[in-house]
């Protein structure tokens, strides 16, 4: 069985992030902002539809490393996941909204924050001896 693959979708793009991503110099920020605000509800609707389609295709929602993202996981390797999503005719829609990994891949091979950490084991802490146990 292949290791899990992940899809990360940035949902609530903050204006600062979007400004950094916008193609600077081609239009004014005020014009861009009007376009961004009118585009946001459509983007959220598309993300909601896409999440429905992905969950129907075996992906499950898992906790995202960031509050403003949606992360999906499936126990399948990246190549097979991409082929299945192309067959399901979801791939082009996914490319429009997903957050790519450092290599530009839509499907993450590794967890975005490295391997998800297991719950830490609590170390037993010895209590100091009471005065009666010390013998004073």
112-132 pLDDT, tens per residue?
Answer: 776 555 555 556 666 677 777
| Residues of the chain predicted below pLDDT 70 | 1-2, 12-27, 64-67, 114-127, 135-136
pLDDT at 66: 64
Report yes or no on 134 lying in a domain: no
pLDDT at 103: 85
pLDDT at 16: 61
Report yes or no on 81 lying in a domain: yes
pLDDT at 54: 93
Report yes or no on 53 lying in a domain: yes
Report yes or no on 120 lying in a domain: no
Report yes or no on 68 lying in a domain: yes
Report yes or no on 123 lying in a domain: no
Report yes or no on 26 lying in a domain: yes
Q: 76 is in which domain, residue-wise?
A: 5-115
The secondary structure of the chain as a DSSP string is: -PPPEEEEEE-S--HHHHHHHS-TTSS-HHHHHHHHHHHHHHHHHHHHHHHHHHHHTT-EEE--SSTTEEEEEESS-HHHHHHHHHHTT-HHHHHHHEEP-TTS-SEESS-BTBSPPPPPPPPP-PPPPPHHHHT-
Report yes or no on 133 lying in a domain: no
pLDDT at 27: 62
What's the structural domain count of the chain? 1
């Amino acid at each position: 069985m292949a290791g899990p693959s992940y899809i990360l979708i940035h949902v609530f793009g903050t204006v600062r992030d979007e400004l950094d991503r916008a193609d600077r110099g081609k239009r004014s920020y005020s014009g861009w902002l009007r376009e961004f605000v009118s585009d946001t509800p459509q983007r959220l609707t598309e993300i909601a539809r896409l999440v429905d389609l992905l969950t129907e295709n075996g992906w499950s929602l898992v906790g995202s490393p960031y509050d403003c993202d949606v992360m999906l996981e499936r126990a399948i390797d990246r190549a097979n996941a991409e082929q299945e999503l192309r067959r399901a005719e979801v791939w082009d829609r996914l490319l429009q909204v997903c957050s790519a990994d450092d290599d530009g891949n839509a499907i993450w091979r590794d967890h975005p924050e490295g391997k998800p950490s297991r719950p830490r084991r609590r170390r037993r802490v010895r209590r100091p001896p009471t005065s009666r146990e010390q013998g004073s």
